[in-house]
């Protein structure tokens, strides 16, 4: 998979892809991430990428020219399956959206800007608008990093234990059960006995029971959606 991210503050995207799982995914050749500085596509001598909004008192808006130039340059090199724009008024991102995106070959993520982007970009270039939640960030970069992270870890081979994405919270509509590590007894706070028993079938049953209990208690709306699929 190839992900191109277009931003006017590319420095914000440096660290998230240089460590841990996302770094290894690139080293293994499972994903290519290319960050593009919108400023490199600005044509005026000030390299400006934003301008005042028509008809508004305040607030800067990302201009169409540098974005069009950058997108066209990328599109002349390969076909993109989606051109995503990060915005609080987009479709809310969830595990299902991450699963769908992880099946694509090439995607572009255009990072939004505080006051937004010239509407003509959204109308003519963008194929999908994504919000990572009902709150406003100062730019789309952190949202782009969140989306890319959630998608990349689902690409087969990215996680060393192939099953671990399958047991993630939300993957089966349930949130994950509690986990413990050594010591089994910390100052009298004990790990549930069953997990120390070595009885795999019983442990799996306990984990499922805990997942269901947690989902019911913590995410009642999620529980309502999936309860018909549970055998209990």
Single out the residue of 138, 142, 135 nearest to residue 115, CA to CA.
138
Q: Which long-range contacts (CB under 8 A, 24 or more apart) does 12-18 make?
A: 12/139, 12/141, 12/142, 12/145, 13/141, 13/144, 13/145, 16/145, 16/148, 16/149, 17/145, 17/148
The least distance separating ligand ADE from the CB of residue 141, rounded to whole angstroms, comes to 9
The least distance separating ligand ADE from the CB of residue 47, rounded to whole angstroms, comes to 23
The least distance separating ligand ADE from the CB of residue 86, rounded to whole angstroms, comes to 4
Residues that bind ligand ADE (CB under 6 A): 86-88, 112, 131-133, 135-137, 140, 143
Single out the residue of 49, 13, 50, 47 nearest to residue 33, CA to CA.
13
The least distance separating ligand ADE from the CB of residue 192, rounded to whole angstroms, comes to 37
Paired sense of beta strands 189-190 and 185-186, if any = antiparallel
The least distance separating ligand ADE from the CB of residue 186, rounded to whole angstroms, comes to 38
Q: Which is nearer to ligand ADE, 97 or 167 (CB)?
A: 97
Residue 4: enclosing H or E segment and its boundaries? strand 2-7
């Amino acid at each position: 998979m190839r992900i191109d991210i277009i931003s006017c503050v590319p420095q914000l995207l440096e660290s998230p892809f240089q460590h841990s799982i996302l770094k290894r995914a690139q080293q293994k050749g499972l994903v290519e991430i290319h960050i593009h500085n919108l400023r490199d596509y600005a044509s005026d001598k000030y390299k400006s990428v934003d301008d005042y909004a028509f008809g508004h008192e305040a607030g800067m808006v990302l201009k169409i020219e540098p974005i069009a130039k950058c997108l066209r340059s990328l599109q002349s090199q390969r076909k993109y399956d989606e051109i995503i724009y990060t915005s609080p008024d987009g479709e809310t991102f969830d595990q299902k959206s991450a699963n769908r995106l992880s099946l694509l070959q090439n995607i572009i993520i255009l990072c939004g800007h505080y006051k937004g982007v010239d509407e003509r970009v959204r109308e003519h270039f963008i194929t999908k608008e994504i919000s990572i939640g009902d709150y406003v960030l100062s730019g789309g970069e952190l949202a782009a990093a969140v989306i890319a992270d959630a998608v990349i870890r689902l690409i087969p081979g990215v996680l060393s234990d192939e099953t671990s994405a399958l047991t993630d919270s939300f993957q089966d509509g349930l949130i994950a059960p509690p986990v413990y590590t050594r010591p089994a007894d910390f100052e009298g706070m004990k790990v549930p006995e069953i997990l120390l028993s070595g009885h795999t079938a019983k442990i799996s049953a306990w984990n499922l029971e805990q997942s269901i209990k947690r989902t019911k208690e913590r995410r009642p709306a999620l529980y309502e959606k999936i309860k018909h699929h549970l055998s209990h």
